[in-house]
Amino acid sequence: MPYMAVSLAQAGAESSFEFERQLFSLASREMSFGQPFFGRVARAMEIAARHPGEPAGDGSDYDVQEAKQALWKKLGATPRSRFLNMAADNHVTWPSEPTLVKFDGYHFVLMPRTKDHVQSVHIDLTENRLDDRSATTVIRRFLSIMAWCDDNFATLGFGWSGNPVPVPVTKPELAFRSTPHYIFDRKMPSTPEAGRALALYREALNAEHNSLISYAVLSYYKIIELTQRDRGATKNWFRDNFAHARRFAHLKHSLDDFDKLRGATEPHEYIYKSCRIAVAHAGKDSKSDPDDASELRRLHAAADIMQVLARHCIEAEFKISDCMLDGT
C-alpha cells in the first residue's frame, strides 16, 4: 500500500511517525532531502528573482492539443476507435468543416478540401462493426446517394486504415516521367481501326485512374472486338491467347484471384459472361454492382489481365510498336 510523503519537521512528528510500518513493510521506497538540496533551491530562487526571464512558452501548444481532443471527441473518436480514411474526389455538396454524419445507421466523418488535403471520408471500423471492404461498400453507397441528389460525380479514391482518430488525406504528388533529352518520332496509326484501338486503350487507362474499373474492363474487351468478325471469334481469341497473360510475374496475384473466382468456368467464358456482359448490361443475369467492394476487387483482377491481353492484341494484330522512336 502506498503512503503519503511525510516530514519529521512538523510538530508532534516524533510521536505520530510509524517507524516500523514505514521502514519494515514488504516493499518500500524512501527519499530524503538534505540541507544542501534546500540550499541549492534557495539560491536558484534568488537568481530567478533578480533576473526574471520570459516564460518558455505561452501555453498555445496546450491550447492546440486541447482543441484537437475536443474536435476528435465531437467527431466520434473513442479510445477503441480504428478509422478508415479515404479520399473522395467529387463535386457534390460537402461540408466546409469536419462533420460527423449518420447514414442508414452508420456514422462517419466528412472532411473538406483544404490547401494541403483532398475531400475525404472517414469511418470508425470498430464502432460501426465493419471491416475495410464492407466499410468501402457503405461509403460508396453514400456517394451514390449524393451523386443522385446533386446530379454530379463522386468517386472514391485511395486510403488506409488503422488510425485512432480521423486523419485528413494529403493531396497526392502524382509521379511523372521526364527526360532532359526528349526524342520523339512517331506518326498517326495507319488505319482507322488501329487509331480506335489506341484510343480505347487510353480511355481504359484513364478509367482505371479515375476509379471507373467497369468501364476499363469494357474498353479492354472492345479492343479485342475490333480485330474479330463476331462475338464467337472474340471469345475464341481470349481462349487462344489467355496463356500470354501467365507469362507476367506481376500478374500472379491477379491471376490467382481470377482463377479462384472463375472456378470451373473457362477463362474466355468467364471474361465474356462475368466481365463483358456483367458490366455492359443490367439484365437479370448481369448483377455487377459498382458500389460493392467485392465486385470491384473481382473486376480489378480481370482488368489487370485484360490490359496485358489488349496490349498484346494491339501489338500483334495492328503491328503497333511501343517505341517512341519507331518512325511509323
Residue 51, sorted as left (phi over 0), alpha (psi -120 to 50) or beta, turns out to be beta
Residues 132 and 211 in one domain: no
Coil, strand or helix at 285? coil
Residue 99 pairs in a beta bridge with: 110
Enumerate the H helices of 191-319 as residue ranges: 192-209, 213-226, 231-241, 252-262, 267-270, 278-280, 293-317
Please give the average pLDDT of every successive group of 10 residues along the chain, which has 328 residues: 56 65 62 86 85 65 79 92 93 90 91 93 95 92 87 87 94 72 77 91 88 90 93 94 94 95 93 86 72 88 94 91 77
Residue 311 and residue 225 share a domain: yes
Residues 221 and 302 in one domain: yes
Say if residue 102 is in the same domain as residue 147: yes
Domain assignment present for 134: yes
Domain contains 23? no
Amino acid at position 175, single letter: A
| Number of separate domains in the chain | 2
Residue 38 located in a structural domain: no
DSSP 291: T
Work out the angle between the directed axes of helices 293-317 and 252-262 (0-180°, nearest 10). Answer: 110
Which DSSP string corresponds to 93-159? ---SS-EEEEETTEEEEEE---SSB--EEEEEHHHHT--HHHHHHHHHHHHHHHHHHHTS-EEEEEE
Does residue 140 fall inside a structural domain?
Answer: yes
CA pair distance 309, 305, nearest whole angstrom: 6
Question: What angle do helix axes 213-226 and 231-241 make, rounded to 10 degrees?
Answer: 100
- Identify the domain containing residue 126 by its residue range: 80-163
Q: What is the pLDDT of residue 323?
A: 83
Q: Residue 197 burial by CB count (10 A; 0-12/13-18/19+): exposed, middle or buried?
A: buried
Residue 300 belongs to a domain? yes
pLDDT of amino acid 291: 85
Together in a domain, 158 and 244: no
Predicted local distance difference test score (pLDDT) of residue 1: 46
Cell digits of residue 247: 507469362
pTM for this predicted structure: 0.65
Do residue 145 and residue 208 come from a single domain? no
Sign, CA dihedral 298-304-306-309, equals negative
Do 112 and 206 reside in the same domain of the chain?
no
